[in-house]
Amino acid sequence: MSLPHAILIALLEKSSSGLELTRRFDKSIGYFWSATHQQIYRELGRLEREGQIRAIPAPQPARGKRKEYEVLPAGRAELIRWKAVQDEPKRPRDPLLLRLRASGVVGTEGLEPELRRHLDLHRAQLAAYQEMEKRDFAPPEDTERGRVHHLVLRGGIMMESFWVEWLGEVLAGLPGQPPAGDEAAPGVDYADYADYADEAAPGEGEADRTDTG
Amino acid sequence: MSLPHAILIALLEKSSSGLELTRRFDKSIGYFWSATHQQIYRELGRLEREGQIRAIPAPQPARGKRKEYEVLPAGRAELIRWKAVQDEPKRPRDPLLLRLRASGVVGTEGLEPELRRHLDLHRAQLAAYQEMEKRDFAPPEDTERGRVHHLVLRGGIMMESFWVEWLGEVLAGLPGQPPAGDEAAPGVDYADYADYADEAAPGEGEADRTDTG
DNA sequence: CGATGCATGTAATTCGTTACATGATTCG
DNA sequence: CGAATCATGTAACGAATTACATGCATCG
């Protein structure tokens, strides 16, 4: 539940209207926390009701009219509180990895173009980040915020590098049919293999479970 | 919307009961697609109603009794269809990155222990994956499924390596206060800076878009 | 004054999370 | 028998996604 905090951060960096926030969530902030305008308006309403932000009074407020929000002391306090909260790293949930794994049971047909497409997208995003780094972050960082933003951008760069590298490895390793043999290699049973990989638990080597063996 | 497909994959690899699936989703499959038993039971019900899977007939079915599911032809067909579907890479949504960015506006106090904790967790996960790789995947891969599982595991390894590397960089760069100066460096305005970083859009510099990739 | 784009919202649905409920099995 | 454990579920809620609705501003 971090969307309200993402909004507080964005507003502390610069007071904005709902649509401006939406635009900013398509750029820098959105590079690691995305949100649609519907989510944003809903949260803005909630945060205002709770007294964490307020709409800067306008001369003639009206429905379809621009409304700029700023963070109130309660909002800043909430963000400081939340900043130090502990929370477990979430397991990734990536459909592409799932599609790859599906290839293990129903074949790889049709997957390769999608892998290539993603590789291109990640390459482009990586190039964009590197361009930003070159342009916006010169070596001697002189503000706390500058250092932090640079570290976050480094995260984006390294994350995209990971994708580019891994997708390259997959594309190199996937279409390579077995050098001379067939699909079903001798002596290996599919179901057993699945069992094997599933049961190979990482740190549980000491406990010897007698029931399943 | 990939949970049903994750379940189809798991069941094709090995027919299982709901609880067995839950356990398997804590291991290999869960390393890139997590699910709780409540989600799993709900989906199993839905998939069965839709004729994609069936419960293997038991001698005496009863409520609290083990029920094993297997995939029906319709389910396999659906998985084959879904496997080739195009879909955009999702933007990451990571609270830790958000907390780091929050440090840019409300200070870094209290964040460092959390960063260290995550670093340790990712180091442990990386070690576990590397152990699995060493144990389960010898160089000459002889089945399609073996190759695929290995590539997926490589993804896990490289992803965890990314975290370890990046968190190391953050911990090295974060607490380093400005060598001799103060928080607010001369000549830099916070609001302008935020604006600057936000407006630095990636793909819009058509003028001199030097091809870096 | 009507069309277009900008800006702010509502509604419906689906997916994920948390808490709880109940039946079966095993073991002392 | 009763407690602990395994196994299968229900219910309620919150967050995210998708589709739709409405009001203002400008320009011809």
**B48 alpha-carbon distance from chain centroid:** 27
Per-residue pLDDT of A38-88, as tens digits, reads 999 999 999 999 999 999 987 776 777 899 999 999 999 999 999 999 999
pLDDT band at residue B205 under the 50/70/90 scheme: very low
**Nearest residue (Cα to C1') for D14?**
A1
* CA A184 to each of CA A177, A187, B70, B76: distance values in angstroms, whole numbers, following the listed order: 12, 9, 22, 19
Q: B99 and A82 in contact by Cβ < 8 A? A: yes
Q: CB of B164 under 7 A from strand C? A: no
Per-residue pLDDT of A2-28, as tens digits, reads 999 999 999 999 999 999 999 999 988
Span B12-26, mean pLDDT? Answer: 94
Confidence (pTM): 0.84
The larger pLDDT score, comparing residue A192 to residue B21, is at B21
B165/A175 Cα distance (integer angstroms)? 30
Which residues, numbered 136 to 155 in chain B, qualify as contacts with chain A under a Cβ-Cβ cut-off of 8 Å?
A: 136, 142-152, 154-155
Any idea what the Cα angle at residue B58 is, between residues B53 and B59, rounded to 5°? 160
Nearest neighbour of B31 by CB, restricted to A86, A91, A154: A91
Nearest neighbour of A105 by CB, restricted to B82, B122, B145: B145
Percent helix, strand, coil in chain A (nearest 5)?
A: 60, 5, 40
Q: Is B206 on the interface with A (CB under 8 A)?
A: no
Neighbours of B98 (CB within 10 A): 21
Three-state DSSP at B176 gives coil
Which residue in chain A is spatially nearest to B154 when comparing CA positions? A166
B45/B61 Cα distance (integer angstroms)? 15
Q: Which residues of A149-185 are buried (b: 16+ CB within 10 A; e: fewer)?
A: bbbbbbbbbbbbbbbbbbbeebeeebeeebeeeeeee
Q: CA A127, A133, A135, A136 torsion: positive or negative?
A: positive
- Per the listing, tokens 């190391």 go with B168
User: Could you tell me the two tokens for B139?
Assistant: 């160089």
pLDDT band at residue B141 under the 50/70/90 scheme: confident
**Nearest residue (Cα to C1') for C24?**
B64
Percent of chain A with pLDDT over 70: 81
Span A118-123, mean pLDDT? Answer: 97
Q: B142 and A178 in contact by Cβ < 8 A? A: yes
